[in-house]
Amino acid sequence: MPNDRPSIPAELRRAVLVEAGHRCAIPTCRQYPVDIDHIVDWAKVQRHDFDNLIALCPTCHARKTRGEIDIKSMKQYKINLGVLTSRYTDLELRLLRWLVDYMPGRGRPMLPDGMIWVVGDLLSDGLIELRDDGWLLPSGHPDGPGPNNFMKQVATDRNARYVSLTDKGRELVERWFGAKPLDWVWRFKPLD
């Protein structure tokens, strides 16, 4: 850092770190530790503004510096992070990532009925659904329910429900990970 460049104020650093959950703001990364970086380089803007600061791990920071992650994507990651963290809890965002990254072939996540409130915003926005039958695959899928599948559907807990992404939820995650605007999610339902 050049000697004439002032340090980022502690409160501003804290706000950027909290926004990103002290992890890399790139949704497919989420590593730590992180540095605070200027989306548009300091040399061009000569100031520290919240909207131009983002938390990046050293690897993503280097990728941005080399131009592998462009400024337009960085700006959209920042906007999306603000949209998502103002609407959903960290637990809800982790569940969305988990359903996409880890679900295939790794079991079916279940929520006890008393914990449904934890994912209430995801449910009310139509991003996930709760199912009693344990099937998370569409009926046309070869491993899904249907007359040719004799697999027994067994729930391990009668007071729990299986969690599944809806098509809208899958689209949200694809757009989020792809640095595309997320405002379409609430097009028909205003934020509370």
- Does the structure show a pLDDT above 90 at 35? yes
* pLDDT > 90 in the chain, percent: 34
Indicate the SS3 state at residue 150. coil
Convert the pLDDT of each residue in 6-20 to its tens digit. 999 999 999 999 999
Convert the pLDDT of each residue in 131-167 to its tens digit. 775 544 444 444 444 444 333 333 344 566 778 888 8
d(CA 36, CA 58): 10
| Cβ(136)–Cβ(170) below 8 Å | no
User: What amino acid is encoded at 135 in this protein?
Assistant: W
- The structure tokens listed for 93 are 């965002």
d(CA 100, CA 103): 6
Quote the pLDDT of residue 138. 46
Per DSSP, what are the bridge partners of residue 54?
A: 37
Give residue 114's pLDDT band: very low, low, confident or very high (50, 70, 90).
confident
The whole-model pTM stands at 0.70
Residues 6+ apart with CB under 8 A from 40: 52, 71
| Residue 54, H or E segment | strand 53-56
In this structure, the chain runs to a length of 192
d(CA 103, CA 136): 10
- Does the structure show a pLDDT above 90 at 75? yes
Mean pLDDT of 123-134: 80
Indicate the SS3 state at residue 53. strand
Q: In terms of Cα–Cα distance, which of 38, 63, 65, 49 is closest to 9?
A: 49
Q: What are phi and psi of 85, to 5 degrees?
A: -75, -20
d(CA 60, CA 24): 8
- Domain-by-domain residue ranges, the chain? 10-87, 90-186
Lowest mean pLDDT among 12-21, 39-48, 73-82, 86-95: 86-95
Indicate the SS3 state at residue 177. helix
Quote the pLDDT of residue 68. 95
- The structure tokens listed for 2 are 């050049």
Quote the pLDDT of residue 107. 57
